[in-house]
Structure 1
Amino acid sequence: MGALLWLLIPVLAGLAAALWSSWTLRNRRTGDVAELAGYARFRAAMEKQHTAPAPAATTREHASDPV
């Protein structure tokens, strides 16, 4: 009877390992699909032609010119 109890320990450890591995290998919703969609949005934003605003006109009204 004692030998059967010792054999029960590795069997229970194997069952625990099987449950743990099935939990860690479960399907998750995140992955390459979300990352590729984000990269596509990034590329679309970078390919847009942006018009630069006109530079501000500089005035010399209060310039200190030596007379």
Structure 2
Amino acid sequence: MAALAWLLIPLFAAIGAGIWGSWVSRDRTIGDIAELNGYARFRDAMEKAPSDTAAAGSDAV
């Protein structure tokens, strides 16, 4: 029975390594596309902010 336990330890380690390897090598481009779109919206909003505040400042003077 002890020999079986010593054989199961490397088997479980190999299965765990296979699961971990497939998790690490997964395709994660879907999240990158959403993040890049969010960053593009952020840049557009930041480009619009100075012109809006400058126009409001010139009206107050």
TM-score, normalising length: structure 2:
0.51
Taking the aligned partners of 2:2 and 2:46, their CA distance within structure 1 comes to 71
> Percent identity between the aligned chains?
55
Post-superposition offset of 1:52: 0.9
Post-superposition offset of 1:2: 5.2
Report the number of matched residues.
53
Q: Which has the larger radius of gyration?
A: 1
Q: Residue 65 of structure 1 corresponds to which residue in structure 2?
A: none
Q: Residue 43 of structure 1 corresponds to which residue in structure 2?
A: 43
Q: Residue 14 of structure 2 corresponds to which residue in structure 1?
A: 14
Post-superposition offset of 1:34: 1.9
The structure carrying a bigger helix percent of its residues is 2
Q: Deviations over 1:32-64 (max 9, x none)?
A: 2222212211221222332215228xxxxxxxx
Considering only aligned residues, what root-mean-square deviation do their CA atoms show, in Å?
Answer: 2.8
Look up the equivalent residue of 2:36 and give its one-letter code. Answer: L
Question: Which consecutive segments of 4 or more residues in structure 1 shift more than 4 A?
Answer: none
